[in-house]
Structure 1
Amino acid sequence: MNRLNEQFEKYLLDNLPKSKSFHPHFEKALQQMLVAGGKRFRPLLVLSVTDALQPLLLRNALPVAYAIELLHTYSLIHDDLPVFDNADLRRGMPTLHKTYDEVTAILVGDALNTHAFFLLADAPLPADTKVEIVKELAREGGIEGMIIGQAIDCWFEKKKLALDELKFLHIHKTAKLIAASLKIGAIICNEKEIAKKLYDFGIDLGLLFQIQDDLIDALQDDTKAGKTTSNDENKNSFVNLLGIDGAMKSADELVEKLETGLEAFDTKLKNNLKKILNNYLYRHKNL
């Protein structure tokens, strides 16, 4: 675990969301998927960019990174619901609707989503910076990003999409939140020029991430993946459209593009991102 990961994990565990009431399990459910772990990929992107551009702002960036992890976790909880993927396992644990019930899972997801924006509003950053971050996360995690991606994914299940439509789906459902995480690191540091370059880099990174997830679903079992797999048979996945070999080839092409993109960043930013991305750029090679 690297330095930024350790800092973030400690911050998360010290600031778990609380809900004091006489409800028998809601607070435990609220925290369960957070303490279960996860890759922390999106918050680490925020912190890596901030640390490279303005390291003195790293502590101020922690609640922002945490907010993005809350938003991401809410999306996973809802994605696992019976009405969506009906998954049994997430982060190596039973999904919330399996441990408790659907009502609890829906409300926990709702709570993490709204609490994310409370954390952003309360972050120790200038007001105009916080407004920009709220706008970015609400847009990319909302109707112009993750939500329309999910809507397309569900509506067109069992209906084959063309490759450009499939890319649109996954750019919105997955890539935009990853791209926003990189861009938000630059917003924290008031680095507007690099923010756009990081966002574009993040779209390619998000597409790679999705292709790799599709390959994991096809090639790994639940235990190794830590989540329900073999769940994409009727979905519009890169594996279903391109086959295993075609998806692998697309992943390799994106890795090459991302490696070129990394070289365009200054040394500290490039090195910080490499520390995270080296764990992910080639993970499809090991399936």
Structure 2
Amino acid sequence: MNKIVNILKPTGMTSHDVVSCVRRILNIKKVGHTGTLDPDAAGVLPICLGRATKVSELILNKDKSYICELTLGIETDTYDSSGTILYRNDGCSIDKSKIVQAFKLQEGEIDQIPPVYSALKVGGKKMCDLARKGKADSIEIKPRKVNIKKIDILNISDNKITFYVECSKGTYVRSICHDVGAYLGCGGHMSFLLRTSSGRFDLENSITLEQLEEFSKNGTLDEYLYDVDYVLNNLLEADLKPSAKKYYTNGGTIDSKRFTVKGLKNHDEKTYLVRVYCQNIFIGVGKISKDNNTITLKSDKLFI
């Protein structure tokens, strides 16, 4: 089974917990998630099965969207409600126009400092593990470029702000909450998070772990499984001639006379990935290389 299933992760489970459940329910050894979703968060978590795990990192690179609740007046060391409270301001009252301004500063390409309690590695070790050992002060956290493509305030009620955000890979919504609280001078933390989409996957085409087990037992699971190339719709399509298939699948480099790429003339990059088909059958991901007037294709990931 080389497919992808979109699981609606519940709160209270790690992404690894979900992988373990899927592995048990479907009795498949090779299972992988496509980007960690915090235990306290819920929402879209695409799970790759079998050879589909080869494209996990390609899904990880997709944009994501969230609905989040920010609670002002309480700052925690983890930037969310699971952490230790570092600061509290029960009399927090901020003018709405200043809140709007704080969110405006989060829009576009920004330098974001990730939480120390995150899975990012420093010197080969996860920052969260170092922090739990009391070594948080020794960690040098460097800002990272992220792109907040859209951020809209949905509701403001007392000290709670609900907002929607669309962002690039590597964005920490917890950091948005922390930074808004810091700008407003009252502190803040993420008190709720729901991932509403990851690439082409969203809440509407997700299923729960309970449904996964039910559909697996009654034989209707195929309706909720996605082919690998479904998530690669952003890549150009290369059509390989049948005579070149064996050489290609054995690792050979194919010249441009033996394949065609739709939209190739409009592509300026010297190397890029494509979806490779042969006689309308998806066979994998290939890498196009352009050197002067020479264009070649070589296999990057095979799915046959």
TM-score by length of 2: 0.20
More strand by share: 2
Larger Rg: 2
TM-score of the pair, normalised by structure 1? 0.21
Q: Comparing both structures, which one devotes a greater share of its residues to helix?
A: 1
